[in-house]
Amino acid sequence: MIKRIKTLFSVFWRVFHSPSGYFSLGFLTVGGFIGGVLFWGGFNTAMEATNTERFCISCHEMRANVYEEIQPTIHFTNRSGVRAVCSDCHVPHDWTDKIARKMQASKEVWGKIFGTINTREKFLEHRLEMASREWRRFEANDSLECRNCHDEGAMDFTRQSSRAAAAHRRGLIDGDATCITCHKGIAHELPDMAGVEGWE
C-alpha cells in the first residue's frame, strides 16, 4: 500500500517537476491561462463577497450597532432610493487600496474571534478609538470614499442652501477642509466628542 502511494507520488513529482517533458506547450499555455482565469475570478469573487452588506451584518457587532444607526440617516433612506452600503464608504474602490484595506481588516477578524466588541458596552467603550481611525483614514485620503459619489466639481452650489454653499466654498474650495472635517457622525452615532477638534 505504502509502496503504491510512493510510486504514485514519484510519478506525480516527475510530471510536476518538468511538465514540459510530458505535456505539449500548447496544452500548458492554454491550461495555464484557463487556470489563471479561474483562480483570479475565484479570488475576486470571494473578495467582492466580503464587500457586501450581507457579509458585514452577518456579525451581530455590526448588525446591532452601526447597521441599526445608519437606517434613519440619509445614506440609507432617502427620496431618490440611492443607498450607500458599508463598503461604499469604508472600503476604497481602487483595487490596490482595497487590498491594503482588506489586509488591515484581518485585524478585525482577530477582534471578532476574541470578542473585543461583542457587547454594546464594549462597543461603546471602543467607539471613539474606532471612529478616530476612520476619521484619520478619511483625512488622509481626502475623503476619497465620499468623493466617489459627491464630487465637488459636480456640485451645484446654487442648488444648496445658502448656509451650505457658503460653508462649502469657505472650507472645501478656499480652505483645506475635507468632507469628514465637518461631516462627522453623518451615518452613525458619535462617540463622546469631548476633546475632538471642532466639537468644543
Partner 1 sequence: MRTIAIAIAILGTSLGALAQEGELDAMRGHVPLLEERTPEPLYNVENNDLRRIRAYPMQPPTIPHKIDNYQVDLNANRCMSCHSRQRVGDTQAPMISVTHYMDRDGNFLAELSPRRYFCNQCHVPQTDAPLAVENRFVDVAEILRQRRETQE
Q: How far is the CB of 158 from partner 1 (least distance, A)?
A: 14
CB 149 within 8 A of CB 84: yes
73 or 148, CB closer to partner 1? 73
Q: Of 189, 190, 195, 188, which is closest to residue 89 (Cα–Cα)?
A: 188
Torsion of CA 82, 88, 94, 100, to 10 degrees: -170
Which CB atom, from 156 or from 200, has the smaller least distance to partner 1? 200
Q: What is the DSSP letter of 148?
A: T
89 CB-contact burial (10 Å; exposed 0-12 / middle 13-18 / buried 19+): buried
> Measured from the CB atom, is 23 or 199 closer to partner 1?
199
CB of 165 to partner 1, least distance (A): 10
| Amino acid at residue number 35 | G
Contact, 190 vs 66, CB < 8 A? no
Q: What is the rounded CA–CA span in Å between residue 35 and residue 27? A: 12
Shorter beta-carbon distance to partner 1: residue 107 or 170: 170
User: Minimum distance from CB of 174 to partner 1 (Å)?
Assistant: 12
Length of the chain: 200
Residue with smaller CB distance to partner 1, 81 or 153: 81
User: Would you tell me which residues interact with partner 1 (CB under 8 A)?
Assistant: 72-74, 161-163, 166-167, 170, 185, 189-193, 198-200
Closest distance of CB 128 from partner 1, Å: 9
Smallest distance, partner 1 to C-beta of residue 66, A? 14
Taking CA atoms, 62 is separated from 69, 170, 185, in Å, by 10, 35, 16
